[in-house]
Amino acid sequence: MFILLIVIALVATASGVAGISVTDVARVILNKLIPGLHLATASDLAETIVMELRLPRVILAMLTGLSLAGAGAVMQGVLRNPLVSPYTLGLSSGASLGAAIAMVLGASVFGNMYVVAGKYIIVVNAFVFGSITMLLVYGIAKIKDTVPETLILAGVALGYLFQAGVSALKYFSDHEALKDLVVWLMGGLWGASWNTVSILLPIVMICLVLLERYAWDLNALGSGEEMAISLGVKVDRLRLVTLGLATLMASSTIAFTGIIGFIGLVAPHVCRFIIGSDNRFLLPGSALTGAVLLLLADTLARLVLAPVEIPVGIITSLIGAPFFIYLLLKAKRQLW
């Protein structure tokens, strides 16, 4: 899957309105990675297109796929439910409300600061509200004894509440703010830059490495809470830490990309059909699967109506839903 991801990344970077060969893409990247190599490329324009426009977007798509799918796999494992994802637990709805508040009320609340740093205010607000959502979900579950069913139901309920808030802001917003909000809610990678990549790369990689350390505990929890406790797993602490790391990872990327559905739900299931439910392999496998799926979807979104770009959230839903139904119908074994 990792090799496939690298190949697709090279092809995606070469694909676009201005055609560039995969060889030239590889040469440009190698010239940047290895100072003094000086491999000849087709033109300076090719280097500008690769390094300033396409490669940051490709890497952002990969990081977003890694984080959403990795978070989905962890959430499904720790709550032992096949329908759980960052979207169904209310995280995406919370981030949507945060972004909507910043877009619709930002100018009146933040004044001139919004004019100067409006993009980052939206990003920070989306991240904060996404994180607050999971704190509320866990707090509600803690009051009623922390069990998977309570966590899921609390997430669904808060998700509906935040969606109502977003709808109200849509209704009262002016034309320009409404347009920006609708586009953000569709999900897209238009805001890709090296600055964005440098922020997300350490967050996503560190969270994935830390979550992998809990793979054995998640395997034990898959046999039931009583079995996990008898094996020495501190179940409440496991849920708090893993959900916290998954939330940090997913809400960070959602803040920059908007709502991209289905990746966090579909990628872990695709990986289960291929390699089974052992979390030692499922977590990194799901993350890589999510990166591949989102990179393919974003490349298709850029090319299908070029030079017009379709929001990648539309592509993931249009392709993800039929593909997921097909997998469910063709599955030869019961995984849940």
Tens of pLDDT, residue by residue over 41-54, are: 667 778 888 888 89
Closest CA to 103 of 83, 81, 119, 90: 119
Phi, then psi, of 305 in degrees rounded to 5: -125, 30
Rounded Cα distance, 40 and 235, in Å: 56
Residues in Cβ contact with 270 at an 8 Å cutoff, skipping those fewer than 6 apart = 286, 289, 293, 327
pLDDT of residue 241: 92
Instruction: Report residue 75 CA to chain centroid gap.
Output: 13
Candidate from 218-222, 279-283, 297-301, 305-309 with smallest mean pLDDT:
305-309
pLDDT of residue 233: 87
Residue 11 scores a pLDDT above 70? yes
In the chain, what percentage of residues exceed pLDDT 90? Answer: 28
> pLDDT higher for 201 or 116?
201
Burial of 11 (0-12, 13-18, 19+ CB in 10 A): middle
The CATH classification number of 2-330 equals 1.10.3470.10
Digit-coded pLDDT (tens) for 157-187: 888 999 999 999 888 887 777 877 888 888 8
Phi, then psi, of 234 in degrees rounded to 5: -85, 95
Q: What are the angstrom distances between the C-alpha of 121 and each of 66, 72, 86, 180?
A: 24, 26, 22, 14
Residue 336 scores a pLDDT above 80? no
pLDDT of residue 324: 74
294-322: average pLDDT: 87
Digit-coded pLDDT (tens) for 229-273: 898 889 888 988 998 899 989 988 998 898 888 899 889 988 988
Residue keyed to tokens 């393919």: 296
57 touches 192 (CB < 8 A): yes
pLDDT of residue 242: 92
> pLDDT higher for 141 or 210?
210
Residue 221 scores a pLDDT above 70? yes
Domain ranges of the chain: 2-330
Phi, then psi, of 75 in degrees rounded to 5: -65, -40
4-25: average pLDDT: 88
Closest CA to 214 of 87, 72, 65, 77: 77
Q: What are the angstrom distances between the C-alpha of 49 and each of 46, 161, 274?
A: 5, 43, 36
pLDDT of residue 66: 95
Q: What is the pTM of this model?
A: 0.89
Closest CA to 156 of 92, 235, 98, 97: 92
With cut-offs at 50, 70 and 90, classify the pLDDT of residue 224.
confident
14-42: average pLDDT: 80
Strands (E), the chain: none
38-67: average pLDDT: 85
